[in-house]
Amino acid sequence: MSLQRNESLPQDQIIRTLLGARARLSAGFFLVLRDAHLAEDVFQEVMVKALGQQDLFTNEAQLLSWARALGRNAGLNLLRKSGRISVGLPESLLEMLAQETEADAGNGREEALATCLASLPVASRELLELRYFHSLSCADVATRTGSGLEAVYQKLSRLHRTLRDCVERRLTLSADPS
């Protein structure tokens, strides 16, 4: 699905994007809070607020940047309100990490990956979706697809290699203007 320049992200894409980045976002929130349960609460708050303000987001990078900033600030506010002292990273270091993450988000890797994923055959995308979007184990994927466990491992390994090569190729092409 290609979006027009000023068109906001559809709700299902916001959900997929945030759930796809859940581990990274929650890890960042944990760095602030040093409490896995509170980090999960903050992630849920970010998800609800994003869905309530979906008109703000025109692309996934913008959504993720907003989610990281909101979650970090929500975590710091939680600590302040509870009177707890963060044993996590200092605010200055968190800000530096946020800036570094922003720089990485702008390098085109996510867009290249999305393009490469779209170019895969449907069966390959479905296999990846079962494994990563639905968080099924390889054994569960094997059962669900009627394949052997070793075959699933091999297919996933080949898909990882294919996607890595495709992303690197696209990034190299976009970096070389000639």
pLDDT tens column, 120-172? 899 998 898 888 777 788 899 999 999 999 999 999 999 989 988 998 898 88
Most confidently predicted of 34-38, 44-48, 91-95: 44-48
pLDDT class for 29, splitting at 50, 70, 90? confident
| Structural domains of the chain, with CATH | 11-105 (1.10.1740), 109-175 (1.10.10.10)
Q: How confident is the model at residue 175 (pLDDT cuts 50, 70, 90)?
A: low
| Tokens 């390889």 sit on residue | 138
Question: In this prediction, what percent of the chain has a pLDDT beyond 70?
Answer: 79
Q: Whole-model pTM?
A: 0.49
Please name which of 69, 70, 64 lies closest in space to residue 106, comparing C-alpha atoms: 64
Pair of tokens at residue 177: 């203007």
Q: How far apart are CA 162 and CA 153, in angstroms?
A: 14
pLDDT band at 50 (very low <50, low <70, confident <90, very high): very high
